[in-house]
Structure 1
Amino acid sequence: MTAHPLRMGVIGCAAIAARRMLPALVAHPATEVAAIASRQEAKARSFTDRFGGEPVEGYDRLLERPDIDAVYVPLPALLHAEWIERALQAGKHVLSEKPLATTRKDAEELLTLAAARDLVLLESFMFLTHSQHAFVQRKVAEGAIGDLRHLTAEFAFPAKAADDIRYRPDVGGGALTDIGVYPIRTALMYLGGELDVLGAWLHVDEDRGVDLGGSALLGSPDGVAAHLTFGMEHSYRSQYALWGSHGRISVRWAYTPPPTHSPLIRIEQQDHVEDITLPPEDQFANVVAAFVARIRQGTPSGLEGESVLAQAALVDDVRARALAVPRSGGARSLLP
């Protein structure tokens, strides 16, 4: 007998849900959007009119419903821990927008609770599911650039509207937790989990109380360095590069490629440059597929466990290192 579709509830009517995740949930044959909750019923109804399901006023009321198997949480970062915990306590599997939590301590407690209740808890870090990164990893393992010596990763975009939620410290806004996690996760993907923060810098907007951008220098036990840059006051940039003893490999649109984008991977060597075009891919659809497979078949996802904790720990360390340095003109020094 075919299992019934995974009945999904959505906690919050965020823009990312409407733009990318809800279309992916609707399109997947093994998921069904059963209910969407907002603090205002009218907002919930505006979403269910587009994506189906029943509108629910109040997040608690959605979690009380017996017809919900799992929930997707696209709330602001500072609210993740509270509502993920409530969802797990209610017996629901959880797919959460990144970051899973704003501190390593909270992330560890949530993962422990999920394991204790035999529930799936995944962090929707969609770029990790795109096959362009597995392709690059294979090329590096095959020796395309020799021994890895250095990594650079950059993710930034122009300033948003003044009322954008990223500028609100009361809900966990700021560039580090929203954007800096992408370069940080890239470093973990290629350099492993034993990274040290050697230096960090944050540009803090004192009036808003959030960081608008920053940089970090990480080091691995085997001497490979990672230079990371992120921000929300820049021209758009979304790329990383691995520099080895015999060459360099780069990903031109690393973090937010649309489903129609054909990734371009460039391999540069002393006397040869090769551009490789890969097939387009929908990384949000990949996240949904990974979530379903983890629940139905127990398939490991790469979106849970130790890698999530390592990422959260590095965010803690970058923040602590940057804020420990005396300020000068709203900027915080990169020097330790």
Structure 2
Amino acid sequence: MSAPIRIGVIGCAEIALRRMLPAFEDCPDLEIAAVASRDRDKAEEAAKRFGCEPVHGYAELLALDGVDAVYVPLPAALHAEWVDAALDAGKHVLAEKPLSTDRERTERLLAKAGNLGLALMENVMFVHHTRHEAVRRLVADGAIGELRSFHGVFAIPAPPDGDIRYSAELGGGALADIGVYPLRGALHFLGPELDVVGAQLSTGPGREVETAGAVLLRTPAGATAQLTFGMDHAYRSAYELWGSRGRITVDRAFTPPADQVPVIGLYRGLDSEEIRLEPCDQVAATVEAFVAAVRAGSAPAGDTLRQAELLDEVRRSSTEHAVPPRGPGSGR
């Protein structure tokens, strides 16, 4: 039996403390070696909770010999810098999405990891949930005929003022934080040949980043993807696949609770069916996928690079068709 992989965490972000560190703790193939923060008290508090070494400073954690891999849950604008530094230090990396803020940096990081024989994985968790593979099988088996379109939506209520997602300097904005989910879903089902037809990003009153958006994409064969996302909405997380003979619906699609019974809606003509699956903990499944990548010395790039390209294309398209920001009481 292989020794556990010793993992360090660079930063005490909420997602690290609430979701990832508990999942690391529960994984028999991982051992939490250290938690780093630029705030010494935060590092010590997190380390005490998870029984590991507190480290004051990110570079100091990377210098530890007893760390095999690192998890990077920092703000998006800091991902590339610290992923790059971790690879230089010989560490495997699990990084929060997006891997970087542009395609060129993402491509360089993926190439560097490959050249060094290190696993570099972007933490897009929903793709590891068993429900989406079941949906893929239904589509492949012709359950809804030829696939014509994907409709994906993910939106959350407005975060509190001061949230890093409102900071342009830290790489915030609804597109990279929220829109990446339905975008990745479109790639998952329609493939990498998607191109952006048009996009609209809108900025809420008093904000310096986009808080909502909509995107239209298409494949060379004419299948389309329509995406809607935002962070000033009532919560919704869903997608629909529409084919020539039926459609498939999935609710709570991107962030389902681990104990939720996954349901797939299948509609053909006047007939409807609810397909119920066993619960799946997508956080644990993601951690297992990362462990497998570390053991193999590489992580499948999957849709990471194409996703980065499409995020850039969405930004360009939205700039070309920009509209004025919404104003207070505009009703828009």
If the length of structure 2 is used for normalisation, what is the TM-score? 0.96
C-alpha separation between the residues in 2 aligned to 1:264 and 1:71?
A: 34
Deviations 1:33-67 (A, max 9, x none): 00000001100111112112100000000000000
Q: In the alignment, is the contact (CA less than 8 A) between 2:153 and 2:227 conserved in 1?
A: yes
Measured after TM superposition, the shift of residue 271 of structure 1 is 2.2
Q: In the alignment, is the contact (CA less than 8 A) between 2:6 and 2:68 conserved in 1?
A: yes
Name the SS for the 2:109 alignment partner: helix
C-alpha separation between the residues in 2 aligned to 1:135 and 1:23?
A: 27
Measured after TM superposition, the shift of residue 209 of structure 1 is 1.1
Q: 2:292 aligned with 1:289, yes or no? A: no
Q: In the alignment, is the contact (CA less than 8 A) between 2:152 and 2:239 conserved in 1?
A: yes
Residue of structure 2 in register with 1:137 after alignment: 136
The residue type equivalent to 2:71 in the other structure is Y
Residue of structure 1 in register with 2:311 after alignment: 315
Tell me how many residue pairs correspond in the alignment: 327
Measured after TM superposition, the shift of residue 9 of structure 1 is 0.4
Q: In the alignment, is the contact (CA less than 8 A) between 2:146 and 2:245 conserved in 1?
A: yes
- The within-5 A match list for 1:235-314 is 235-297=234-296, 304-314=300-310
Measured after TM superposition, the shift of residue 206 of structure 1 is 6.4
Measured after TM superposition, the shift of residue 306 of structure 1 is 4.9
The residue type equivalent to 2:123 in the other structure is S
C-alpha separation between the residues in 1 aligned to 2:194 and 2:275?
A: 30
Which stretches of structure 1, 4 residues or longer, exceed 4 Å deviation after superposition? none
- The within-5 A match list for 1:211-250 is 211-250=210-249
Name the SS for the 1:113 alignment partner: helix
Residue of structure 1 in register with 2:183 after alignment: 184
The residue type equivalent to 1:118 in the other structure is G
The residue type equivalent to 1:214 in the other structure is G
Q: In the alignment, is the contact (CA less than 8 A) between 1:34 and 1:68 conserved in 2?
A: yes
Measured after TM superposition, the shift of residue 326 of structure 1 is 3.6
Name the SS for the 2:261 alignment partner: coil
Residue of structure 1 in register with 2:97 after alignment: 98
The residue type equivalent to 1:322 in the other structure is S
If the length of structure 1 is used for normalisation, what is the TM-score? 0.95
C-alpha separation between the residues in 2 aligned to 1:224 and 1:84?
A: 35
Measured after TM superposition, the shift of residue 3 of structure 1 is 2.1
Deviations 1:305-330 (A, max 9, x none): 25101000000000110012242343
The residue type equivalent to 2:301 in the other structure is G
The residue type equivalent to 1:320 in the other structure is R
The residue type equivalent to 2:67 in the other structure is I
The residue type equivalent to 2:36 in the other structure is A
The residue type equivalent to 1:23 in the other structure is P
Measured after TM superposition, the shift of residue 184 of structure 1 is 0.6
Unaligned runs of 5+ in 1: 332-336
Deviations 1:43-101 (A, max 9, x none): 01111121121000000000000000000000011100000000000000000111111
Measured after TM superposition, the shift of residue 137 of structure 1 is 0.2
C-alpha separation between the residues in 2 aligned to 1:57 and 1:97?
A: 21
Q: In the alignment, is the contact (CA less than 8 A) between 2:202 and 2:325 conserved in 1?
A: no
Q: In the alignment, is the contact (CA less than 8 A) between 1:195 and 1:220 conserved in 2?
A: yes
Q: In the alignment, is the contact (CA less than 8 A) between 1:9 and 1:71 conserved in 2?
A: yes
C-alpha separation between the residues in 2 aligned to 1:268 and 1:164?
A: 40
The residue type equivalent to 2:23 in the other structure is A
C-alpha separation between the residues in 2 aligned to 1:32 and 1:306?
A: 26
